[in-house]
Amino acid sequence: MIRSLFLSIMMVALTMMSCSASNAEGTASAPANKQTTNNKMTKVKLETSMGNIVVELYNETPQHRDNFVKLVKEGYYDGVLFHRVIKDFMIQTGDGNSKTAGPETALGDGDPGYTIPAEFVYPKYFHKRGALAAARTGDQVNPERRSSGSQFYIVTGKIYSSDELQMMSKRMADMAKQDIFRRLVMENRQKIEQLQQAQDQSAIQALQNELIQQTEAEAAKSAPSMTDEQIDAYTSIGGTPHLDGQYTVFGEVIEGMDVVDKIQNTTTGRMDRPTVDIKIIKATVL
Domain membership flag for residue 23: no
C-alpha to C-alpha distance for 203 and 83, rounded to whole angstroms: 48
Model confidence at 43, pLDDT cuts 50, 70, 90, reads: very high
Question: Distance between CA 55 and CA 47 in Å, rounded?
Answer: 11
Tell me, yes or no, whether 19 lies in a domain: no
- Same-domain status, 58 and 144: yes
Instruction: Tell me, yes or no, whether 131 and 53 share the same domain.
Output: yes
pLDDT of residue 4: 53
Query: Do 211 and 264 reside in the same domain of the chain?
Result: no
Whether 280 and 151 share a structural domain: yes
Give the mean model confidence (pLDDT) for residues 129-153. Answer: 95
Give how many domains the chain has, as a whole number.
Answer: 2
The pLDDT of residue 6 is above 60: no
**How far apart, in whole angstroms, are the C-alpha atoms of residue 134 and residue 112?**
14
Is 68 part of any domain? yes
Residues 183, 123, single domain; the answer is: no
Q: What is the pLDDT of residues 12-36, one digit of tens each?
A: 444 444 443 333 334 455 655 554 4
The pTM is what?
A: 0.78
Tell me: do 135 and 167 sit in the same domain: no
* Residue 278 belongs to some domain of the structure: yes
Please give the pLDDT value at position 128: 98
Q: Say what the pLDDT of residue 57 is.
A: 98
- Residue 273 and residue 222 share a domain: no
Q: What is the pLDDT of residues 100-125, one digit of tens each?
A: 999 989 999 999 999 999 999 999 99
Element (H, E) at 178: helix 162-187
Residue 9 lies inside a defined structural domain of this protein? no
183 band by pLDDT with thresholds 50, 70 and 90: confident
Q: How far apart are CA 158 and CA 15, in angstroms?
A: 37
**How long a stretch of residues is the chain?**
286
Q: How confident is the model at residue 170 (pLDDT cuts 50, 70, 90)?
A: confident
pLDDT given at position 114: 97
Average pLDDT score over the chain: 87
Question: Taking residues 252-265, what's their average pLDDT?
Answer: 98
**Would 134 be classed as within a structural domain?**
yes
Residue 69 placed within a domain: yes
Q: Between these two residues, 270 and 92, which has the higher pLDDT value?
A: 92
- pLDDT, position 77: 98
Specify whether 219 is located in the same domain as 249.
Answer: no
**The pLDDT of residue 16:** 44
Q: Are residues 100 and 148 in the same domain?
A: yes
pLDDT at 135 over 70: yes
Q: Are residues 217 and 126 in the same domain?
A: no
Q: Domain of 222?
A: 160-235
Distance CA 222, CA 202 (A): 31
pLDDT of 2 strictly over 80: no
pLDDT top residue among 212 and 78:
78
Same domain, yes or no: 231 and 257:
no
Span 252-262, average pLDDT: 98
* pLDDT per residue as tens digits for the range 202-212: 888 899 889 98
Question: Which alpha helices (DSSP H) does 20-130 contain, by range?
Answer: 62-74
Pairing of strands 115-116, 152-155: unpaired
Provide the CATH number for the domain around residue 87.
2.40.100.10
Cα 35 to Cα 63: distance, rounded to the nearest angstrom: 10
Mean pLDDT, residues 221-239 taken together: 87
**How high is the pLDDT of residue 171?**
79
Is residue 270 in some structural domain? yes
Q: How many CB atoms lie within 10 A of CB 146?
A: 21
Do 141 and 154 fall within a single domain?
Answer: yes
